[in-house]
Chain A
Amino acid sequence: MSTDSPAPTGRLIVIEGIDRSGRSTQVRLLLDWLRRRGYEPIRTDWSTSPHISKAIHKAKAAGELRPITFSLFYAADFTDRVANVIVPALERGEIVVADRYVYTAFARDVARGANQAWLETLYGFAPEPDAVFYLRVPPDVTKDRVPSTPVKAIDRYEAGLDLGLSSDPAESFQIYQQRVFDEFERLSQTNSFTIIDGNVDVDDIARTIRTRVKEIL
Chain B
Amino acid sequence: MTDDRWPSSRLDPASPSSWEHHTFPGMLITVDGVDGSGRATQIDLLDTWLKMQGYGVVRTSWNSSKLVSKTIAEARRQRTLAARTYSILHAIDMAERNDNEVIPALRAGYVVLADRYVYTAFARDIARGVEIDWILNLYGFAVRPDLSVYLRIDAETSLGRVMGIAGESTIEEADEQAGVRGQLGSFRQFQERVVAEYEQFVRPFDMVALDAREPVRRQQLELRSIVAAMLERMESA
Contacts and interface: CB of A to CB of B under 8 A. Distances in A.
B134 A121 contact: yes
Contacts of B4: 66-68, 112-113
Contact of B89 (A76, A83, A112, A121): A76
Interface in B128-165: 131, 133-134, 137-138, 140-141
Given A51-B75, A118-B6, A69 B82 contact: no
Contacts of A75: 88
Interface string A50-63: 01101100010010
Given A121-B137, A125-B84, A55 B5 contact: no
Which residue of B80, B88, B91 has the most chain A CB atoms within 10 A of its CB atom?
B88
B139 to A, nearest CB: 11
A84 B67 contact: no
Interface in A114-155: 114-115, 118, 121-122, 124-125
B95 A69 contact: yes
A196 to B, nearest CB: 31
Contacts, number: 81
A73 interface: yes
B85 A55 contact: no
Nearest to B89: A76
A158 interface: no
Contact of A55 (B68, B78, B84): B68
Interface of A: 49, 51-52, 54-55, 59, 62, 66-69, 72-73, 75-76, 79-80, 82-84, 112-115, 118, 121-122, 124-125
25 contacts: A51-B71, A51-B74, A51-B78, A62-B67, A66-B99, A67-B5, A67-B6, A68-B5, A69-B92, A69-B95, A69-B96, A76-B85, A76-B92, A80-B81, A83-B82, A83-B84, A84-B82, A112-B4, A113-B2, A115-B8, A118-B6, A118-B137, A121-B137, A122-B137, A125-B131
Interface of B: 2, 4-8, 67-68, 70-71, 74-75, 78, 80-82, 84-85, 88-89, 91-92, 95-96, 99, 131, 133-134, 137-138, 140-141
